Structure formats: structure tokens, C-alpha cells
Amino acid sequence: MFKKMLIANRGEIALRIICAAKELGIRTVAVYSEADRQSLHVRFADEAVCIGPAKSSESYLNVASIISAAEITNAEAVHPGYGFLAESANFAEVCETSKLAFIGPKPEVIRLMGDKDKARKAMAQFGIPVLPGSDVLKTQAEALEAAAKIGYPVMIKAAAGGGGRGMREVGSAEDLPRAFDTAQAEAQAAFGSPDVYLEKFAASPRHIEFQVLGDSHGKVVHLGERECTIQRRHQKILEEAPSTQVNAEARRSLGHRVVAALVEIGYTNAGTVEFIMDRDRNLYFLEMNTRIQVEHPVTEMVTGVDLVKEQIRIAAGEPVGVAGETLAPRGHAIECRICAEDPDTFAPCAGKITEFSVPGGAGVRVDTAAIAESVIPPYYDSLVAKLVVHGADRPEAISRMVRALDMFVVEGISTSIPVHRKILVDADFLAGRFDTRFLTRFSGNGAGGH
């Protein structure tokens, strides 16, 4: 096992990784920007190194500074968390070259599965259903020709990343050129590549994803699915496990095919295979995230598996600690992403938290790096906390989440808590009747997703 590990991230995920490392007896090194000098991940790490100014391109995306921090502190491994450099094959490669264990897949696997176009082709070869789509497109003319073959509506998607950036739904040829240029520009700004491709837009889509773990001994397991359909601007705001739309047979059948495909690919460490479900409950491969997900706690709650500890153990050469190919879900879990944003427009709302009190009680978990008097800076993601609950079944989990939200106190900034309250009492949500456009009923500001 590693003796010391650097965490190349910030906020709640950095603190989450510190918790796992402490339980494994591993010393931790935090890196931080000047804006995060007083952050909890800095306070609770064994060592901390400032890596640059607030701007992420000069700090959390600065590979040279992060590697230097690892070298001067004699760290043996680097955990990238999610976001920032977590899905950078180049960063994983630099870690390997610098004799640092990268806690994630091999660079070549990140390169394959992190490119959506290549990933779709690879999964199709292994019998995983994919939506009709195109190759990478360079010009408006190529896009128009591809869309005519696929049939409208289509989705323009960035080949190199996710999180809703470089993504545009297009309903007609008339709207495609402008959307294509916008998507290319967003993709270039967010991921350093303008590459985009087209994919058929599924009617009334739901977003279903499978959590996987693979070790260096050739074993891959899946830990069931998460329902991530409730989104605003293509970004998830509420997740649950298991999905009401996936029965035990579908979970077993598709999960088995996912495992078989990833064994062939040589996948190691944690990852998430994402699918779109159409109105007929057909599942189509969407993309793969080659990292730990924001919503990983819901899977931990229904399986009892500590996914971050598993990541670390796998990177240290140990086998996956799950017997068999999967685990049946126990009960039901829901996660609400509490974000610093206007609940009506979803506009970010940076500022100082003047009062902060988290809920507790049976089946309640809060992952956060926020405290009273801490500042949510404008430079990074607006996530304040992840409120996660577990219940014997979905109704109990919903009831527990409603209670927990009512007991969550955040003063000084606006948050998404009012939106979560509305979702949890909505008749269609309670009945499991929703798709990625669900939030449009609460806001006309582009709340839907795909």
C-alpha cells in the first residue's frame, strides 16, 4: 500500500479522498490555489502545497505545478478526483513517467474511452447498443450531410469531454450551422479540442449509468445502475439508485455485457458507463467517464462498497474486493447536489456562507467541504454539498430526503435546496414518470438535459 498520496483536486471530493486515505493509513498531500488557502481539504491533509493563483488553468490544471508538489513531498501516488485533470490521458502519462501511481485507468484506456466517438465505436464492437451517430465532424457541410442521414432531431456533442459543454440539441437543418459553431467553440474552450460529432436524439430520454471497477488482474465488476435523469443544463442535480426503470434481469443482462466489454478493453480502476434510455426502455451507450463520479455515494449506500478505497487498493495492485460479477442493491439511495445558485435561473451564486448546519439522523450522509464563514469562490464548480440518504425502499428514501432538506441550513448565499424540495413532492417524480426535460416545469432557463 502507498505511504503517501497527493490529491490533485479541491473541495468535497478532495476531503472525501482524504477520509479514505486516512482509514487506509496513507498520509495525504493537498494542493490548493490561492483562493482555497483556508479550505477544509487543506486543513485536514497531512501536508499542503500552494500550486498557483485562483484561476484553474494556473493551479488545478497546471500539470507541472502538481507534479512538482508530488515530488517535493515524496508522494508515491496521485488521486485526480473528478473534473480538472481526472480524465486527462496526458496527465496520467506524466504521472507514470514521473514514477507516480495514477489512481485511475491506464493512459491508453483513458484516451480510448474518454473520446466519445472512439468509445462508441469500441463498445459497438463488443455488442453494446449505441444510438445512430456520425464520425467526428470538421465543417458545417459535413454536419448537415450527417444530420440528413441520421434524421432530426440530433444532438451535437463534444468528442473530448462532458458536463454539458459542447452539447447542443438541434431540431432542423436551419438551426444546425449556428449550433455547430457554438458547440465547436465551447468544446475548444472546455477541452482544448473543437472535435464534435452528431448523435440521434432519443425521445423522452432517461439517463442511466453503471458503476464499474476493474483491477490489474483481469477482473471487472459492476455495482448496478444509477438513475441520473434529473438535470439542468445537461448537468445532474439529483441521482438515485437503483433506477425504477431497470429490473433485476435487465441489470444482470446489460451489466454482464458491460463487464465483458471492459475486460476486453483492459479497463482498470473505477469508471462509469453511461446510457440513454428511450421511451420504450431500450438502453443505448452514451459515453464512459474514466474516473470516480460526483454521484458515487448513492452506489456506496446501496452496496456497502467504499469506491474510493477500492480505487486506491486497485492502483496499489490489489484485486477488486467484490466477490462475483456484481452485488444486488440493498434498499434505495438518493443524492441531492446542493449548489450555490439561484433556484429559479440556476445562475451561479458565489459568496460567503454566514450560517451552515447539516442534517443528520439515520440513513443521512453529507459530503461537503463547506463550513460557516467559508467562501464559495466564483472560479470553480458551484457545488456546496452532496446530501445523500438511504432507505429501505424508494418511498422511505424520498421521505428521509425531504426531512433532511428541511433541516439543512445554508445562509448568506442562494442554493438549489428549494428546487430539490419541489422535485421531491412532484407527483410525476414520486411515480417515477420523468425524463431529462423534467426540470423545465420549474424553470424556463434551459433546465433540461440529454
Q: 168, 413 in Cβ contact below 8 A?
A: no
Query: Can you point out the beta strands (E) in 301-408?
Result: 332-339, 351-352, 355-357, 364-368, 375-376, 383-391
Cis upstream peptide for 153 (omega within 30°) = yes
Gap between the Cα atoms of 41 and 138, Å rounded: 42
CA angle 301, 303, 307 (to 5 degrees): 80
How far lies 449's CA from each of 34, 107, 220, 234, 427, in Å? Answer: 34, 29, 30, 4, 20
Query: Quick one: 81 exposed, middle or buried, by C-beta within 10 A (0-12, 13-18, 19+)?
Result: buried
Of 111, 165, 206, 291, the catalytic one is: 291
DSSP string, 71-139: HHTT-SEEE--SSTTTT-HHHHHHHHHTT-EESSS-HHHHHHHHSHHHHHHHHHHTT--B--B---B-S
Gap between the Cα atoms of 417 and 244, Å rounded: 23
Rg of the chain, C-alpha, whole Å: 21
Q: 279, 203 in Cβ contact below 8 A?
A: yes
> Is 291 assigned a catalytic role?
yes
Q: 422, 441 in Cβ contact below 8 A?
A: no
Closest by Cα among 279, 278, 209 to 240: 209
Closest by Cα among 274, 288, 270 to 226: 274
The total of other beta-carbon atoms located within 10 Å of residue 134's CB is 21
Gap between the Cα atoms of 123 and 127, Å rounded: 7
Query: Quick one: 33 exposed, middle or buried, by C-beta within 10 A (0-12, 13-18, 19+)?
Result: buried
Q: Which three cell numbers stand for residue 167?
A: 452539447
The total of other beta-carbon atoms located within 10 Å of residue 265's CB is 21
* Catalytic residue ranges: 291
